[in-house]
Amino acid sequence: MKNTQKYRKLYLEQSQESFEKWGYYDPPRNWEEFEQNNIKVFRKYLTKERFKEKQTTPEIQVKLYLGLLGDNLEHFGFFTVFDKNHFEEINDVIFQTSRNKLLSRATTASGTDHTLSLMDALSAFSCNDFEIIDSFFPKNLFSDDVYFPGICVNLLNVIYHKQTTSAQEALQRADKFLKKKNTTWDKNIVLYFLALYHRDVSEANEALQNLCTAYQKMEHSVMSIYNKMEKCFATEIHGLYRLAKLIDEEFFENLTIPKHHCFFQEFELWHKENNYPKGKIFYTYPQEMDYLNRIYRAKIPKVTLKKHKSTPKLMKDVELFAQELAESVALVPPSENLNPLQRIQMQRKKHQ
C-alpha cells in the first residue's frame, strides 16, 4: 500500500505550502492543530449565542454543522490512519466522512436530483454501510438524468429493490447511454452495473479493472495536490466491488480483485478475514460540539424529489430533508457528558 505514504507526503506538502503562503498549516498536521481548527470554527459560527443572534433555524443549524465542522475530518482522517495502515480505522474514517458528505449533499441545493450522491454512496459501500441505500436511493425513486449517475442509480434501484417492472426501461436507458461517446469512467461504471444485473463475472471484472485506470484520469478536485491525493485510494471502486457481495454472494466470490495501486487488496483481505465489518464513528467531537455527534446518530430521512419553478425537472427536496433530519436529531439524547478536555485527551490517546 505505497499509495498511503504517497497520500501523506502530498498532504504534508499542501500543509507546508499553506504555512509558507499564509502563516498557518492547512490542512492540520496533527491532532492538536485539527482540534484547534475545530474550536475556531465552532466559536465563530456554531455557538448557541450566535444561533440565537442570527435566529438560526434547526434546519440551517444542521447544514452548518455538516458543512463547516464535519467536512474538516476527511483529509486529516485519512492522513492520520494511513500512518500505520490500521484497517479498522481506515474503515471508520470512510464511514464517518462518507456519511457526512451524503447528509451534507442531501441538505444542500445543487439543481440536481438524488443521483448526485452516487459517488459518495459508493464510498459508503466500501465500509459496508449499505443502510444508506434506503434513505438516499429509496424504492421507486427513479431519475430522468441522462448522465452516468442517473443511469447507474436506476439500475441500482432495479437490482437492489428488485424492481423488475422497471428493469426494461432502466436497461434501455443504459444501452442508449453506451451508444454515445463517453469517458472511460462513465462507460465502465454503467457496464459494471449492467454486469451486476446480468451476473456477468467476466464483464464485471473487466469494468472494475478499467475503472481503476480511469480513476487516475478523473478530476477529483480543482486543487492540484488534493486531486493527486484523491487518486491514491479509490473508495468508490471498493464500494462497487463490495456491492456485488450484497447483491449476490456467489457472484461476488467469483469476481477477481482489481490489480491497481489505487485499489487496496490488503484492505479487501482484511474485510474478508473479519467478516466484512461495517464502519463506525471514527472521531467523537467534544461536548460543546455534541450536536454533530447527534446528527451522525440520528435516523436518516428518505430523500424526496419535487418540481421547481425554474425547470420542469424533478430535484431533491433539500428543505424537507433538512427539516426531517433536524427533527430526527432533536430525538437523539446528548452524548455522555464528559469534560471537554478529558474527551480530547481520550481521542488523542486512542489515535496515537
Q: pLDDT, tens digit, for every residue of 71-127?
A: 999 999 999 999 998 999 999 999 999 999 999 999 998 789 999 999 999 999 999
Mean pLDDT of 150-169: 96
Query: Are 296 and 96 in contact, with CB atoms under 8 Å apart?
Result: yes
User: Which of 331, 324, 322, 332 is closest to 62 using CA atoms?
Assistant: 322
Average predicted confidence (pLDDT) for the chain: 94
Answer whether residue 341 shows pLDDT above 50. no
Task: For CA atoms 320, 324, 327, 333, give the dihedral sign.
Answer: negative
- Residue 345's pLDDT band, with cuts at 50, 70 and 90, is very low
Please answer whether residues 104 and 74 qualify as being in contact, where contact means their C-beta atoms are separated by less than 8 angstroms. Answer: no
pLDDT of the residue at 111: 84
Q: Is 150 exposed, middle or buried (0-12, 13-18, 19+ CB in 10 A)?
A: buried
What pLDDT score was predicted for residue 350?
Answer: 55
Q: For the chain, give the percent of residues with pLDDT over 90.
A: 89
Kindly tell me if the per-residue pLDDT of 54 is higher than 70: yes
Say if CB 243 and CB 251 are below 8 A apart.
no
Q: For residues 20-29, b (16+ Cβ closer than 10 Å) or e, as one string?
A: eeeeebebbb
Whether the predicted pLDDT of 17 surpasses 50: yes
Q: Tens digit of pLDDT for each residue in 214-240?
A: 999 999 987 889 999 999 999 999 999
Model confidence at 311, pLDDT cuts 50, 70, 90, reads: confident
Asked if the model's pLDDT at residue 297 lies above 60, the reply is yes
Whole-number percent of the chain with pLDDT over 70:
95
When pLDDT is averaged across residues 317-331 and rounded to a whole number, the result is 97
Specify whether the backbone of 162 is left (phi greater than 0), alpha (psi in -120 to 50) or beta.
left
The residues that bridge with 315 in the sheet, in sequence order, are: 306
- Over residues 336-346, mean pLDDT: 54
